[in-house]
Amino acid sequence: MRLTTASTLLALALCLGGCGLSETEEMERDLYNRNGLSYYQNGQYDRARDQFERSLTIDPDQQEARLLLAYSYLLAPEGNLILDAYEAFQVCAEDYGDDFRAHLGLGVACFLFGVYYEMEAQQKEDEAAGRREAYEKDEVKRDSDLREIERLDAEAEKDRWRTGEWYAEADPSLRRAQEIEPKNPFLMQMVAFNLVKLGAARFPEAEKYLAMFVEFRGKDIAAYHANLENAKHQGILTIEEERDTELAIRDVAKEIRKARSFIAYMHYTQAVQQGVSARASEEHLAIAERELREAAIVDPTNPIPHLNQFHVYWKQALLAEEQGNAEELAKYMGLAKNELYLFTQMNQFQRPDLNVFARETIGGIESVLQKIEKKPEEKEGDGGEGEGEGAAPGDSGTPRENR
């Protein structure tokens, strides 16, 4: 997280000086602030904290030092100072209500608490599930084992509640930061990600912010390309500048791909929740398909959009199967197979384990497609397999749980 105006504001604060301080105190305060800013910019947040704390001991009323101290808590590598950051940002947000960084810091601190309790809940739920499975298989049923399972379930439920509370508290702070800095793409993303954490009911709002982000960053890519072509035309473009600009374009493209993939995820999730026979499910899947197609275009070397697109086509195949539409079933299974093939070609050196899954799934899809093609021939004769047998995607060797 970069505080782009940090050095400018701190320099101004140093020039203004503190009220009622001796010359020696001002010099000490300014030295601590300079050292703290240097450490902060180099990612040495523990040393930065020490310097800002010393500075604020001399002169407590320093907006920039207080904000940078709060961010030093938030960015601590060990991650154990989030509560200190939360408390510091609460005060900063009250005292400096027009500074987006105060609200952003408070929102991010709340968001991280939400992530922490969500992970705690998941860990306890997984442990409870494992213990429950062992308890059911064990011939000797021990009351102590059952009580431990119930304890884990109760604690996980509390952590889930805390998760929701923290994400809910993050929302107004992140929105306030985005209102102050409406053209900041990072803030658009943070508001959207937090809304997603609040549940499917907030997906439409999250999509609005992600669409804003995609539009905003798309203009950035266009500006990069225009500047690049202009510099080439004028003959003032160096090799280093061209390389740096192309890297910047690639980074922005990855951000757009992630945002579009997130939109696709939200629509895919809603499609699953709607059920296989609902018309709304088809509409959500169509949007997810479109967003992933755009994601693959903007970041063509990344294999993940193709893996995600496979899941969308697979779900559409299941819808076609439910509706008894063999033609649509074959169409979407063929598209799913093609996406997995593209994924394996692009993913050779990244996630070999996923390539194994992809190749096995391709084999299963091919088997199902062959059975679908044979069905019309079977209906003409008296023999063959019974009606519907072997045609279900779930029977193809492709695991349904990987949708």
User: Residue 384: phi, psi to the nearest 5?
Assistant: 95, -175
From CA 258, how far away is CA 256, in angstroms rounded? 5
Residues 223 and 282 in one domain: yes
Q: Considering the domain boundaries, does residue 258 fall inside one?
A: yes
Asked if residue 372 has pLDDT above 90, the reply is no
Residue with tokens 């968001």: 111
Residues 275 and 333 in one domain: no
Report which residue type is found at 314: W
pLDDT in tens, 234-277: 888 888 988 999 999 999 999 999 999 999 999 999 988 877 55
Asked if residue 177 has pLDDT above 70, the reply is yes
**Averaged pLDDT for residues 132-140:** 87
Question: Any idea which of 1-15, 27-41, 42-56, 307-321 has the lowest mean pLDDT?
Answer: 1-15
Residues 214 and 287 in one domain: yes
Banded pLDDT at 179 (limits 50, 70, 90): very high
Q: Which of 83, 59, 84 is nearest to 69 (CA)?
A: 84
Q: Can you give the pLDDT at residue 388? A: 35
Question: How many domains in the chain?
Answer: 4
User: Residue 392: phi, psi to the nearest 5?
Assistant: -75, 135
- CATH number at 217 reads 1.20.58
**Averaged pLDDT for residues 329-340:** 93
Question: Any idea which of 120-134, 317-331, 375-389 has the lowest mean pLDDT?
Answer: 375-389
Residue with tokens 């063509």: 300
Residues 371 and 329: beta-carbon distance below 8 Å: no
Angle at 363 (CA atoms; ends 357, 367), nearest 5 degrees? 140
Q: Can you give the pLDDT at residue 79? A: 79
Q: Considering the domain boundaries, does residue 190 fall inside one?
A: yes
Residues 372 and 344 in one domain: yes
Banded pLDDT at 386 (limits 50, 70, 90): very low
Q: Considering the domain boundaries, does residue 375 fall inside one?
A: yes
pLDDT in tens, 32-61: 999 999 999 999 999 999 999 999 999 999
From CA 218, how far away is CA 211, in angstroms rounded? 10
Asked if residue 178 has pLDDT above 80, the reply is yes
Q: Can you give the pLDDT at residue 11? A: 45
Domain, as residue range, for 145: 101-180
Domain-ending residue, one of 260, 277, 298: 298
From CA 346, how far away is CA 310, in angstroms rounded? 14
From CA 337, how far away is CA 364, in angstroms rounded? 9
Residue 400 exposure: Cα atoms within 13 Å on the Cβ side: 7
Banded pLDDT at 12 (limits 50, 70, 90): very low
The two tokens of residue 26 are 């001002």
Mean pLDDT of the chain: 86
Of 114-123, 312-321, 348-357, 384-393, highest mean pLDDT: 114-123
Residues 199 and 128 in one domain: no
